[in-house]
Structures are given as structure tokens and as C-alpha cells.
Amino acid sequence: MELHFHGATGDTTGSCHLLRANGCQVLLDCGLYQGRRSESYARNRKFGFDAARIDAVVQSHAHVDHCGKLPMLVRAGFGGRIHATHGTRDLAEILLHDSANIQVKDAEHMNRERWRERAYVERCRDGRPCPPSFPNAVARGELPPSEVVPLYVDEDVDATLPLFDQHAYRAWFDVATGVRVRFHDAGHILGSAWIEAEVTEGKKVTRVVFTGDYGRPGQPILRDPEPLCEADVYISESTYGARSHPPFGDMERQLGDAVERLARRGRGRLLVPVFAVGRTQNILYALARLFEQRSIGDVRVAVDSPLASRATEIVMKHPEYFDEEALSQWVKWQAQSRLRDRLEFTETVEDSKRLTRDPRPYVVLSASGMMESGRIVHHLAWHVSNEDCEILVVGYQAGNTLGRRLVEKAREVNILGHRFQVRAKVTTLNGFSAHADREGLLAALTPHARRASALFLVHGENDQRLPLARELAERGFARVESPEDARKFEF
């Protein structure tokens, strides 16, 4: 048996790991690398293996950094089966179509930039000086390629979806010669799974566990992650391998306090930039509990993101993934809910514009989570200079994003080409993450330290996975690896 690592090695996107045995090749996830536009395009164009020779894909969950290259795999010749839970398949459909739309827009943007480069080259050839900041290669007169082709389009997604086979948790299924697999509840997002693979080569049986994105105990809506089983080889995420999360209860109380501040003002906005899958539903669930437990004035709630609205519909159609408390809330929701009476989902651009101008106090959940695109940008342009507005940041904000600048208390920001004074209150809640933290990962992995022959840490930046690697080695793992991209390991 061999393991090859082709993504999420030293960072948190592009999850893709190749298992080889008995002449067969099985992918554990096939995720899209996400970063700066041109870098992402260059990295995502390559696989590091022959897509046509892959026998099957086993998919841990539907986030695009774990499944976003599936349409490219199919375009490149893959014709096998994609194995996933029912929830993962349903979410993957909307997320992959959304990703295809992003690929088209990114290609259009890069093509516009390349035409500007061509114009600069012609200017240099005419004897006029090139700007000092212009790339050296272009300044030498080397024309860039004329066209960037989208990584994939909607038609590629349509060709991918029929390849999905759907499975329940804890049910064994065969994926290749001598390789059988079953899913266990990972408690990360709807349908998420950690993967148990049993690899038989002659008389030798090797058990491999891949955590995917391992969830947090006590997370709203979903059941807690199932404990990992005994295995010979573990492949574990390490997103927060050196960090601890505050309790969910603290986050819900602070969210409630922010809603009450809005109610007391009787005007303005509580803007909550959110990711469409997971975070949106957790915030809505917390708001539903809030309106049942506290007496809140005339405050309305809007989800202004078509993707988040569709994701929420899918979540509501899959109560089989809920924990007991959420299932009870779901039953109440079908009858009546105080949040339901206040809640609206906007679909069209005109609906969004109407919401922006509405004078009533609103809690607005809108994408994107880092405030770089989507309808949240327009809400910010309208309200960021309004002292009656509060911006509630509930997710990670990468460097060089509008969200990061607001979190770092910038006094002035650029939105849609205009400068705005920041007069809105900016509040950060760091505890809504759906990933296990340091304590969660240690609790999941440590019981298996003495039996395992190897542990591979992936899906974590090195400042998170390397400290975790040291601590797990101290706790008894004989071999802890932090693999680099394209590394191969034999067993």
C-alpha cells in the first residue's frame, strides 16, 4: 500500500490524498486550492497523477476545498464512482455549481488583466517607458498567453453529479479491489464524515483512518463527531492544532447581546458576514434559541445570500443528521417559531436593494464571509459609516481582505472603489468554528497512539500542525509525519 499527498500539506485548502493498493488508485477527497486568483489557477490546473487512472473517489464532505476539483477530474478522464453521504452529495451540487460560476468570473478577470499587460507591452515597443512596477517578463516584451480558460463550467458539474454513489454512516461498501470503506459522522457540516478504509493485500490487512474535517463536540445542530476507531495509519487534519476555542455558549450569549443592542436602538443594522454552509445555519439556530429565551423587541432577520438560502433548505431537508436538541427545534419550526415569524430570505438583486434601504432594524446574514465579494459588500457600503450599525465578525479573516482590515480597526476602508469612514461598531466572535481545536484533536487521536504505525498531519498551516505533531509524538505515536506536497509513503 502507498499513500501520496497532493494537497492541504502545510495549508488548509486543496485536500487530496491518493491511496494505492492492488494496482488500484483511490482518492480521499479532491479539493480545490483557494488563495490568490492567479496562484490558485496555476496550482489547480495540475493533479500530480493521471485522472483517467483513478478508480474511485471517497469524499469526506462538501466544502469546495475538499470536493471542488471533482469536475476537473471528470473533464480529465475520470469515469469511476464518487462515494459520499446523502448530505454531502446534496450540498456538493449547489457548491460545485457556485464554484463553476466563480471559475468563469475569475477567468474573465484574469483575461482582462492580461489584455492590460499586452497593451503595456505594445507601449514599451513604441519606445514609451514601462511603469517601474510592471513585471520584468512583460517589460522585456514577452506577451502573456492570450486567454485563460475557466477551470470548469456548469456543464462539467452536470457531468460529475451522476457519478455520485450515496451511503449511510457505518455501512461498508467496496470501492476498489481489496479496498472497502465506511463513513462515520465527523460532526463538521451536514453529511460530513471521517473515513475508515480497510485495505487487503494478500494476507495483509491495513486499516486507514482519514479524519476529513473533524468537528467539535457541542456544535449546534449536528451530532458530536464519532470517536475514531483503531487503525494502523491515521491521516488527520490539524487546522487548529495549537489553538483552543471558547465555548459555543459564550458565543451565543455575545450574539444575543448584539441583537439586544440593535433592539434598544430601534434602528440600524447588525451585519453578520457568513459562509453559506455551516456558519449561516449555526447563526440561525442560535438566533432561534435567542428569540425563544429572551424577550427581544421588533427586530427582523434576513438571509441575503441565494447560496446560503439554498444550503439552509438542504439542511432543513436532512433532520436525520441533527442531534436531539436540534431535532426538537426542527419539530417546533415546522409548527411555529418566533424566529420564523421574523425571518426572510431574499433572492433577487432587487430584494437585496430593498432590504438595504429598509429603515427597520435588521439582523442581516450575508456572504461572503471575508467581505471580499457578494451582497455583504453592498450592505457594508451602505452602513459602514453608520453609527447605528454593528458588524459582527464570526469567521476567520485572511490577510489583505476587507474583513481583516475591519477586524484590525481600520478607520477608513475602500469598498466598491469608494473610501468610507468606519463609524460602525466592529465586534469579533472567534468561537463559532466547526473544526476541532487542539484539545479536540488530542482527545480524538491520543487513545490510538500505542497501536498506530503512522500518523500524517495535513490540512493545517505549519504553525498549527508542527506543534501538534510534537505533542502527539510525546504522547506515544511512534511515527508522526507532516508531509509536503507530492510525498509518497509505502507500507
pTM beyond cutoff 0.75: yes
**How far is it, in rounded angstroms, from Cα 435 to Cα 213?**
6
| pLDDT, position 123 | 58
Closest CA to 194 of 165, 223, 170: 170
Is a pLDDT exceeding 70 seen at residue 451?
A: yes
- Classify strands 362-366 and 2-5 as parallel, antiparallel or unpaired: unpaired
Closest CA to 344 of 316, 376, 305: 305
446: pLDDT strictly greater than 80: yes
Establish how many alpha carbons lie within 13 A of residue 281's alpha carbon, considering only the half-sphere containing its beta carbon. Answer: 28
Cell digits for 195? 473515513
* pLDDT score recorded for residue 297: 86
Query: pLDDT-based confidence at 34, cuts 50/70/90?
Result: confident
Inter-residue contact 321 to 281 (CB < 8 Å): no
Whether 434 and 189 have beta carbons less than 8 Å apart is answered as yes
Pick from 119-128, 180-189, 292-301, 309-318: least confident: 119-128
Residues of the chain with pLDDT > 90: what percent? Answer: 76
Question: If one looks up domain 248-428 in CATH, what number appears?
Answer: 3.40.50.10890
Cis peptide before 244 (omega within 30 of 0): no
State the span(s) of the chain assigned CATH 3.40.50.10890: 248-428
Distance CA 328, CA 27 (A): 37
DSSP assignment letter at 239: T
SS3 218: coil
Q: Provide the β-strand partners of residue 237.
A: 458
- 94 within 8 A of 191, measured Cβ to Cβ: no
- The string of pLDDT tens digits covering residues 77-124 is 999 999 999 999 999 999 999 999 989 988 888 887 777 666 655 656
> What pLDDT, on a 0 to 100 scale, did the predictor assign at position 374?
85
Domain with CATH 3.60.15.10 in the chain: 2-103+149-243+434-484
CATH topology of domain 2-103+149-243+434-484: Metallo-beta-lactamase; Chain A (3.60.15)
Side chain identity at 67, as an amino acid letter? C
